[in-house]
Structure 1
């Protein structure tokens, strides 16, 4: 048995001996659904050539000042992503996680740095997801003039994808009439309203406090922004780190499995099937 298979067997043993599943996720979990995983400006510019032509980097476009300097460009980027996230179908690995959680007394709770809402779209209950960087599916005032956070359901962005510019009307703040922006934490963002995320994080902490034998499954969380990796490690020593490029972890905190999210979840599910002697549906 090689090291990879040993890690899978150990992970499966932990998953059989837990009362609650803590799922932590970075951008890499969405790759198997067809979502791009930006790794530096090169990845951004491949997906948005207009930004590359203008040499606009990720930290510049994912920045609250972009909504003040050029709101049509800023909403060209975020509007395109909002449409993409609404249309994408989460891959089968999300269903595997849900199926595991249904067998556990305390179920599952998710903490993700992704703003795409894919866990909710896959069927995870809203009250069991904590989005530490906010959600693109909610809006706030760009100033902000107030503490209001509201769903983006009525906003249908019309985007010139080649130019990365919004060509339809800008979303507005219902209180001051100014421009609205996504309720996501951007770079150098003192204007982000964290009230919704704070409530999610409080629910997560209550869940953690009531769960005795947590196993953490971390998916696609990289080191460039290590928020999720650090959170996972604080909830060891049974962390299962699944990562295609950076699976390394302190052995005292968990185990690393090199691979994509979907292929590794399928392999773990198969290992659990073999141990139980019956296939999962």
Structure 2
């Protein structure tokens, strides 16, 4: 790269300020990795001898709901211990400043909300919730369930994690809102996503087609890099803190 982090952060800050409140963030597993949450595809993505792709499916749940819930309870223990990191906090501050319209996330950990963000579109659900397979009732957990698989407090049916599994469609309302945000964004900050999970990976493409400035923050190149106007190769926390610093600097000039 021909520019250092400070120079790239300054360009990103300019794009955010130029967007006049029409900046949208799109986040993936990379933003939460620094909070200690392992990614599906990283070296820590294995649980016992199982791959996520073998457990996060309706078929796996039908075969062995106890096994699937044991995995989710393990993941929930990690998520409930995790705290928002400086990248989450920087996005929340940009939202408070009126510069960030909303965040679209592929993550299910709820850390954007924990950081104080008000507008969060969850494309893949939330691991802190479960829904009844019989009556549809939703339950929010304050801690991982002690007994698995848990039962619905309303009808006694089997609860399942309120997340999108492989082979399942995205929630229609969340997807439509994400598309509207992508098409209305003047600047899109893409943080820590591999850009290979569809249909979520279409979000940067939609924003680009509508002439948005694309800022990509990732430790490595992704398919999104080809359409990025500004590509920052740094961990999410370091990059977002640098951008926030530059935004504040430019606002006072």
The two structures share one fold, judged by TM-score above 0.5: yes
Determine if contact 1:218/1:232 at 8 Å carries over to the other structure.
Answer: yes
Shift of 1:266: 1.5
Please list the CA deviations of residues 35-93 of structure 1 after superposition, one character each: whole Å capped at 9, or x if unmatched.
Answer: 112326x5322xx2x2x2xxx22211111222222222211110121222122111022
Residue 128 (structure 2) aligns with: 137
TM-score normalized by the length of structure 1: 0.76
Output one character per residue of 1:136-169: Cα deviation in whole Å (capped at 9) or x when no partner.
122123xx333x24133266423xxxxxxxxx34
Distance verdict in 2 for CA 1:66–1:205, change over 3 Å: closer
Question: Is it true that 1:23 corresponds to 2:50 in the alignment?
Answer: no
Contact 2:103 2:121 (C-alpha < 8 Å) held by counterparts: yes
Deviation at 1:23, TM superposition (A): 0.9
Alpha-carbon separation, structure 2, partners of 1:256 and 1:9:
12
Please report the RMSD computed on the Cα atoms of aligned residues, expressed in angstroms: 2.7
Give, in whole Å, the separation in 2 of the partners of 1:174 and 1:100.
Answer: 39
Q: Give 1:161's aligned residue.
A: none
Report if aligned partners of 1:138, 1:152 keep a CA contact under 8 Å in 2: yes
Q: Deviations over 1:11-50 (max 9, x none)?
A: 121012122221100000001111112326x5322xx2x2
Structure 2 counterpart of 1:217, from 189, 193, 212 = 189
SS for the counterpart of 2:45 is helix
Contact 1:21 1:101 in 2 (8 A): no
Q: Structure 1 residues 275, 184: CA separation in 2 closer, same or farther (over 3 Å shift)?
A: same
Match of 2:216 in 1: 241
- Larger Rg computed on CA atoms: 1
Instruction: State the distance in 1 between where 2:148 and 2:68 align.
Output: 13
Distance in 1 (CA, whole Å) between partners of 2:144 and 2:130 is 13
Which residue is 2:164 aligned to? 185
TM-score scaled by length of structure 2: 0.84
- After superposition, the Cα gap between the structure-2 partners of 1:264 and 1:228, relative to the gap in structure 1 and judged at 3 Å, is farther
CA distance in 2, matches of 1:206, 1:235: 10
**C-alpha separation between the residues in 1 aligned to 2:194 and 2:77?**
25
The gaps in structure 1 that reach 5 residues or longer are 159-167
3-state SS of the aligned residue for 1:216? strand
2:204 maps to which residue?
232
Shift of 1:205: 5.4
1:104 deviation in Å? 2.8
State the distance in 1 between where 2:182 and 2:233 align.
27
CA contact (8 A) 2:125 2:164 kept: yes
Give the aligned partner of residue 57 of structure 1: 51
Give distance in 2, aligned partners of 1:100 and 1:74: 37
Aligned length: 247
Partner SS for 1:3: coil
